[in-house]
Amino acid sequence: MRSSPEWTLASQRSELAFPDGKPAYNQAQAVAEASRCLYCHNPPCVQACPTHIDIPSFIRKIATGNVKGSARTIFDANILGYSCARACPVEELCVGDCVYNDAGIPPIQIGRLQRYSTEIAVREGWSYFTAGAPTGKSVGLVGAGPASLACAHELRRLGHACTLYEKSQVPGGLDVTGIAPYKLRGEEALQEIHWVCRIGGIDVQSGVEVGKDIAWEELERRHDAVFVGMGLGPDRRLPGADLDGVDGAVAWIEKMKLGTVSLEGVRSAVVLGGGNTAMDCLRELAGLGVPEVTMVYRGTPEGMSGYKHEWEAAKKLGVRGIFGATPAGFVGEGQVSAVRIKGAEGEQEVPAQLVLLAIGQARLGEQLRPLGIHADASGRLIADAQGALSRPRWYAGGDCTNGGKEVVNAVAEGKAAALSIHRAMGV
Amino acid sequence: MPNLFSNCGGITSPNPFWLASAPPANSGLQVMRAFEAGWGGAVWKTLGTPIQNVSSRFGALRGPGAGGEPVGFNNIELITDRSLDINFREIYEVKKRFPKHAVVASLMVETKEEWKEIIARSIDAGADGLELNFGCPHGMCERGMGSAVGQEPRINERITSWAKEYSTIPVLVKLTPNVSNIIPHGLAAKAGGADGVSLINTIKSVIGLDIDRFVMEPRVAGLSTNGGYCGAAVKPIAMFMVGELARSREFGLPISGIGGIGNWRDAVEFLLMGASNVQVCTAVMLHGYRIVEDMIEGLTDYMSSHGFETVDQMVGKAIPSFSEWGELDLNYETVAKIDPDLCIKCNRCVVACHDGAHQCIHINPDGGVPTIDLSECVGCNLCQIVCPVPGCITMTEVDNGFEPATWNLHVTEGAPLRPKKGVH
Ligand SMILES: Cc1cc2nc3c(=O)[nH]c(=O)nc-3n(C[C@H](O)[C@H](O)[C@H](O)COP(=O)(O)OP(=O)(O)OC[C@H]3O[C@@H](n4cnc5c(N)ncnc54)[C@H](O)[C@@H]3O)c2cc1C
Ligand SMILES: Cc1cc2nc3c(=O)[nH]c(=O)nc-3n(C[C@H](O)[C@H](O)[C@H](O)COP(=O)(O)O)c2cc1C
Ligand code: SF4
C-alpha cells in the first residue's frame, strides 16, 4: 500500500516498439491549422465533445500565441485533455462534426491542436487549478481510472478530501494499460496523471482492492460519499479457451503495455470479435510484426461496432477479415495451433499460434448488490444522469455505468458526479 | 500575479480592455454581457440627437483562405439612433450593477447649450468619463460635427474647453486620423483642457465596388458614400499616430489606443507604444465579446514573463525606440539566412528577391534549398516576409568592423559609412 505519487512503468515494454501514429504538431503547423478555424459560435464540435471543451476558444488562443490559455480552456473542461487529445476517436466526435465537413473542406484537426497545447502545458508543468478551501468532507473513490481521477480533481477544486482505492500498482486504469500505443503510451498517460495530482490531496492508495482488501461497507463508514469508477471486469472467455496461446484481448494489451509479450513462433494470430478492442489488437499484432493477422467476426463489415476508420487502418496493415463466422473450438495440445470457426460455408480451421478473445468484458456491478445498489442484467451499474446510484451517498461513472465507452465519457461522468456530490454535501 | 488595473486620464477599470464607441456598446444589455465576459470598460455608442441610419451599412476587405476573414472593415453608420432617455437610463443601470467598471459616455452635439445639457445628463446617469467624438468621418461631418471638428484645431479646442467647463468627470477627446499630422490636434485637445485623448477613429475609405452595377459598396439603392475604415488593416496607422503623440514632449496626456486591436498581442503593442489602455470595435463585431478572455490571459502571461507588475509599468516602454531616420545606424548590417532543414523549396524568396529586391537569392538547379549571395544581400527582410515557414529565414547580424554611424553623424562629423551593397 502506498500513496506517494511517484509511479513508474517498467523500462522494457513491448508498446515502446510503436512509433507515434499522429506526431505532434510543431508551432508553425499548429498555428497554420489553428488559423483555419472559423471560431464558430456554439458549434457542433463542442456539442459532440462529451466534456464540451470550448474548442473554438482554445484553438483561437493557439493562433494568438496564448498556448497557456489554450491549455487552460481545455483542462478546465476536461482534466485529462491530453490523453483525450491523443486517444479520442475524433473522427466520430469533434472532428467529425466540424462545420467544414458540410462545406466540403477538410475539417480542423482538433485532436492534434488539443495535443499541441496540452502537451506543452504538461511538459512545462503549468498549473492552473488550486484546491478549494477544505470543507471537512471526504470522498472515497473506487479505482483510479479516468472516471475517478476526473471526479477527484473536481472534488479537490471544491475543497473535499479524496482517497482513491486502486487495486493495481499504478493509477490511470485503461488510460495507462489499454490505449493503443501508437495513440498514447503508458508513460505519457502517467505523466498527465502526475500533473493532474499536482493539485494536491488526491490520495491514491494503490494495491488496494475494494471488496477484498477493504470491505465495500467500510468505505461508507470512512467517507461522506463514495464514487465507484471501477471500470469493466476481465475479458469474457469461451469454452475450451484454456490452451496456451489463447488470451483475453484486454489482458494481453495490458501485458504489452506494462511489460513485454513474446511473439516468438507466432506466424498467424486470430482476433475474435469486431469491436474497437479487436481493432486495436489487429493493429497491435500487425505492428509488432506478426506476419498473418486475421479477424473473425460473426456479423457483416457494416455491422461491426469497431469504428470504420480503425478497420480501414487495420486493413492497410494487411489484416484479413472473416465475417459471418463464429468460433466453434480451439485446436491444439497444450498450445493452440488453430481456431475452428463455423460460417455460412460450414466449419473451417484457421491456423493460429496466438488467439485473442475480444468479445467483451465482464461487468462488475453485481458486487454492489448486497448494499442494495442496482445493476442491470448485464451487471452495469444503474446511475441517474448525475451519477447517483440507488443507495444514498453512492455515485458512479465511467465504464462501470456506461457499459464501456471512451476515456472522454469517463471524464465527463466523473466530473458530473463530483458536482452532484458537492451539491449533496450542501457545503 | 500582475495587476491589470488601468487608469486612463482618471478613468479607472479592472483591466485595460474597453469596448470602443460602436455597435458592441450600443445598449445596456450588450454592455452588461460584455462586462460579464471580462471587458473592463465601455465607451457607449455616441450619444447626441438620435439619427436615422441607412440599410446596408458595412463592407469588408477580405483576406485569403477559406471564409476569407475580414481584415479591413468599413461602415457608414452614424451615431446612436436610440432615444437619449433610454440610453441614459441604461447607463445608470449598468453602473449600478458594475460600479468598478468604466462606462464612458461618447458625445456629439452642436451648440454650447446642447453640450452643457448632454454632459449634465451623462454625469447624472453615472458615467465615469466623457469621450468627445471629434472623429466620425462620414455623415456626421457633413452636419458640421465629428471629423469636421477634429480636423479644425481651433474648433476642437473650443468645444473641449466647453466640455471641461461643464464636466466634473474626466474628458477624453477622440481624434480623427483623417489629418496629415496628428500633433496639432492632440495639442488642441490639451489646450482645451482634455484629460486625455483616444485614437483612432475610422479612416475615410471606399471599401469596394459592385462592378456589374458600377456602384460603390455598401450600396444603398443606387448610391453609396465614403465610409470609415477600421479593423486589423488600420492597426499600423493607429500605432503610428499613438506613437507620435506619446513621444511628443509637448503633449504628455494619457492616450486610449484604438484601431485594429483583436488579440492580446495587439493590445501589448499599443501599451508599449504609449497607450494607457485600449479600445476594440471591429474584432468584437466579427467574433463577439468572448475574445477578451484571450486578451486578459495573454496580457497577464506577458506581464508575468516580462516582470511587469502593473499596466502602467509597460505603458510607453517602446517609445524610446521611435526615433528619426537620421538617427538610425547605417553601419548596422544584416543578411538573410535560410535554414536548410526547414526550407520547403517553394522558391517564393527567390522570385521576391529577384523581382522585388536585389537579385541575390538564387534558385538551386538541383531543386534544393535556394542559395543567398551574402555579398549582395542588403538585409531588406523581403524574403523573410514572403517565406511561409516561420523561423526558416532569419535576418542575422553581420560584424563588418565599422563603428556605428548615423546619417546625422555622417553629415555633421563625417562618420565613415560601410560600402553600399546591391548597387551594381
Ligand atoms: C483495449 C482498449 C482500448 C481502448 N482504447 C481507447 C481509446 O483509444 N480511446 C478512448 O477514449 N478510450 C479507449 N478505451 C476505453 C477507455 O479506456 C475507457 O472507457 C476508460 O478508461 C474508462 O475509465 P474508467 O475510469 O471508467 O475505468 P478504467 O479505466 O477501467 O479504470 C478503472 C480502475 O478501477 C480499478 N478497479 C476496478 N475494481 C476495483 C476494486 N474493486 N478496487 C480497487 N480498484 C478497482 C481498476 O484497476 C482500474 O484502474 C479503450 C478500452 C480498451 C479496453
Ligand atoms: C459600425 C461602426 C460604428 C462606429 N460608431 C462609432 C461611434 O458611434 N462613435 C465613435 O466614436 N466611433 C465609432 N466607430 C469607430 C470605432 O469606435 C473605432 O474607433 C474604430 O472602429 C477603430 O477601431 P477598430 O479597428 O477596433 O474597429 C464605429 C465603428 C464602426 C465599425
Ligand atoms: S447582422 Fe443581424 S441585423 Fe445585420 S443584417 Fe444580419 S441579421 Fe440583420
> Residue B130 falls within a domain, yes or no?
yes
Query: In the beta sheet, which residues pair with residue A141?
Result: A164, A227
User: Min CA distance, A66 vs chain B (Å)?
Assistant: 6
Looking at the domain assignment, is residue A25 inside a domain? yes
Q: How far apart are CA A259 and CA A251, in angstroms?
A: 12
CATH code (residue B17): 3.20.20.70
A307 occurs within a structural domain: yes
Beta bridge partners of residue B106, listed in sequence order: B131
What are the tens digits of pLDDT across the range B131-147?
999 988 888 888 888 88
Q: Which of A97, A124, A151 is the last residue of a domain?
A: A124
Catalytic residue among B136, B141, B360, B380: B136
Question: Cell numbers 484604438 label which residue?
Answer: B258
Same domain, B274 and B343: no
Structural domain boundaries, residue A393? 138-233+386-425
B277 and B132 co-located in one domain: yes
Residue pair B259/B229 in contact (Cβ under 8 Å)? The answer is no
Q: Which strands sit side by side in the sheet containing A161-166, from one edge to the other?
A: A202-206, A161-166, A138-142, A225-228, A394-396
Contacts made by residues B94-100, CB under 8 angstroms, sequence distance 24+:
B94/B28, B94/B31, B94/B32, B94/B35, B94/B42, B95/B125, B95/B126, B95/B127, B95/B128, B96/B126, B97/B32, B98/B32, B98/B35, B100/B12, B100/B13, B100/B14
3-state SS string over A161-178? EEEEEECCCCCCCHHHHC
Does residue B63 fall inside a structural domain?
A: yes
Residue A119 and residue A6 in one domain: yes
- Say yes or no: B38 and B70 in one domain: yes
Judge if A321 and A210 occupy the same domain: no
Grid coordinates of B173 = 477627446
- Do B345 and B369 meet the contact criterion of CB atoms below 8 Å apart? yes
Q: Please tell me whether residue B48 adopts helix, strand or coil conformation.
A: coil
CATH number at residue A9: 1.10.1060.10
Assess if residue A238 is contained within a domain. Answer: no
In this complex, is the C-beta atom of B339 within 8 Å of any C-beta atom belonging to chain A? no
User: Do B308 and B362 fall within a single domain?
Assistant: no
Q: Nearest to residue A398, comparing CAs of A201, A152, A162?
A: A152
Give A-chain residues touching B298 at CB under 8 angstroms: 61, 64-66, 69
B421 in a domain, yes or no? Answer: no
pLDDT, one tens digit per residue, over A330-379 is 999 999 999 999 998 899 999 999 999 999 999 999 999 999 999 999 99
- Confidence tier at B65 by pLDDT (50, 70, 90): low
Interface touch A60/B291, C-beta < 8 Å: yes
Proximal ligand: closest to the CA of B58: 2
User: Is there a single domain that holds both residue B198 and residue B333?
Assistant: no
Quote the CA–CA distance of A37 and B196 in Å, as a whole number. 38
| Strand, coil or helix: B310 | strand
- Residue A341 to residue B73: CA distance in whole angstroms: 69
- DSSP state for residue B244 in the 8-state scheme: H
User: Which CATH number does the domain housing residue A310 bear?
Assistant: 3.50.50.60
Chosen domain end from A316, A342, A357: A357
Number of domains composing chain B: 2
* B21 CB neighbour count, 10 Å cutoff: 31
Domain boundary among B321, B336, B352: B321
Both B159 and B183 in one domain: the answer is yes
Give yes or no for a contact between A227 and A417, defined as CB atoms under 8 angstroms apart: yes
In the chain, the amino acid numbered A349 is E
Query: CA A255 to CA A252: how far, in whole Å?
Result: 5
β-pair type (A320-323, A292-297): parallel
Give the Cα-Cα-Cα angle B52, B54, B57 (nearest 5 degrees).
125
**Pocket flag, ligand 1, residue A410 (CB < 6 Å):** yes
**A193 and A171 share a domain?**
yes
Give the Cα separation of B53 and B71 in Å (integer): 24
Partners of residue A31 in chain B, C-beta under 8 Å? 390
- Compute the distance from residue B56 Cα to the ligand 3 centre, in Å: 10
The C-alpha of A61 sits at a distance from chain B's nearest C-alpha, in angstroms, of 6
Q: For residues B412 and B325, is the Cβ–Cβ distance under 8 A?
A: no
Q: Would an 8 Å CB–CB cutoff place A390 in contact with chain B?
A: no
B287 touches chain A (CB under 8 A): yes
Q: Please indicate, yes or no, whether residues B349 and B286 belong to a single structural domain of this protein.
A: no
- Assess if residue A289 is contained within a domain: yes
Instruction: Tell me if A94 is assigned to some domain.
Output: yes
For residues A210 and A314, state if they share a domain: no
The H or E element containing residue A142 is: strand A138-142
Out of A357, A372, A405, pick the residue that ends a domain.
Answer: A357
Outline where DSSP puts E strands in A254-393: 268-272, 292-297, 320-323, 326-333, 335-343, 346-351, 354-357
- Pocket flag, ligand 2, residue B140 (CB < 6 Å): no
* B334 phi, psi to nearest 5 deg: -130, 155
Does some domain include residue B59?
Answer: yes
Quick check: is B424 in a domain? no
Distance CA B311, CA B268 (A): 10
Residue A122 grid cell: 504538461
Of B154, B144, B223, B218, the C-alpha closest to B184 is: B154
Give A163's strand partners.
A140, A203
CA B60, CA B62: separation in Å to the nearest integer?
6
- Is there a contact between B66 and A72 if contact means CB atoms under 8 Å apart? no
Query: For cell 475474435, what's the residue?
Result: A272
A409 and A308 fall within a common domain = no
Question: Are residues B351 and B300 located together in one domain of the fold?
Answer: no
Q: Which three cell numbers stand for residue A235?
A: 475479458
C-beta of B50 in contact with ligand 2 (< 6 A): no
> Are B338 and B290 in the same domain?
no
Residue window 35-74, chain A: list those with CB within 8 Å of chain B: 35-36, 38-39, 41, 57, 60-61, 64-66, 68-69, 72
On chain B, the residues whose CB falls within 8 A of the CB of A66 are 263-264, 294, 297-298, 301
Q: Are residues A142 and A85 in the same domain?
A: no
Residue B141 belongs to some domain of the structure: yes
| A-chain residues near B67 (CB < 8 A) | 38
- Single-letter residue type at A286: A
Q: How many domains does chain A have?
A: 3
Cα B259 to Cα A134, B17, B34, distances in angstroms: 47, 13, 19
Name the domain boundary from B267, B292, B321.
Answer: B321
Kindly identify the ligand whose nearest atom is closest to the C-alpha of B55.
Answer: 3
Domain range for B315 is: 6-321
End-to-end CA distance of chain A: 31
Q: Is residue A268 part of a domain?
A: yes
B38 domain-assigned: yes
Which ligand lies nearest to the CA atom of residue A310 in the structure?
A: 1
Q: Which pLDDT value is given to residue A3?
A: 42
Q: What is the CATH number of the domain that holds B348?
A: 3.30.70.20
Helix, strand, coil proportions of chain A in percent (round to 5)? 40, 20, 45
Q: Going residue by residue through chain A (427 aa), what tens digit of pLDDT does each one get?
A: 334 468 999 999 999 999 999 999 999 999 999 999 999 999 999 999 999 999 999 999 999 999 999 999 999 999 999 999 999 999 999 999 999 999 999 999 999 999 999 999 999 999 999 999 999 999 999 999 999 999 999 999 999 999 999 999 999 999 999 999 999 999 999 999 999 999 999 999 999 999 999 999 999 999 999 999 999 999 999 998 899 999 999 999 999 999 999 999 999 999 999 999 999 999 999 999 999 999 999 999 999 999 999 999 999 999 999 999 999 999 999 999 999 999 988 999 999 999 999 999 999 999 999 999 999 999 999 999 999 999 999 999 999 999 999 999 999 999 999 999 999 998 8
Q: Give phi and psi for A296, each to the nearest 5.
A: -115, 120
Answer yes or no: do A342 and A252 share one domain: yes
Tell whether A269 and A320 lie within a shared domain.
Answer: yes
Residue positions counted in chain B: 424
DSSP character for B319? Answer: G
Cis peptide before B218 (omega within 30 of 0): yes
* Mutant choice from A33, A64, A128 vs B, greatest count of B C-beta within 10 A: A64
Whether B33 and B50 map to the same domain: the answer is yes
Q: Are residues B331 and B301 in the same domain?
A: no
Q: Is the CB of A411 under 6 A from ligand 1?
A: no
Query: What count of other Cβ atoms lies within 10 Å of the Cβ of residue A101?
Result: 15
User: pLDDT tens, B182-197?
Assistant: 999 999 999 999 999 9
Flag whether A362 is in a domain: no
Do B27 and B63 belong together in one domain?
yes
State which ligand 2 atom lies nearest to the alpha carbon of B261. Answer: 26
Residues A33 and A95 in one domain: yes
- The answer on A227 and A149 residing in a single domain is yes
Q: Alpha-carbon Rg of chain B, whole angstroms?
A: 24
For residue A303, being part of any structural domain is answered with yes
Across the interface, of B66, B263, B301, the residue whose CB is closest to A105 is: B66
Is residue B22 one of the residues assigned to a domain?
Answer: yes
Pick from B79, B152, B77: nearest CA to B109: B79
B136 is a catalytic site residue: yes
**Ligand 2, closest atom to CA B174?**
11
Whether the predicted interface score ipTM is above 0.90:
no
Q: Which of B269, B297, B321 is the last residue of a domain?
A: B321
Domain match, A35 and A107 both:
yes
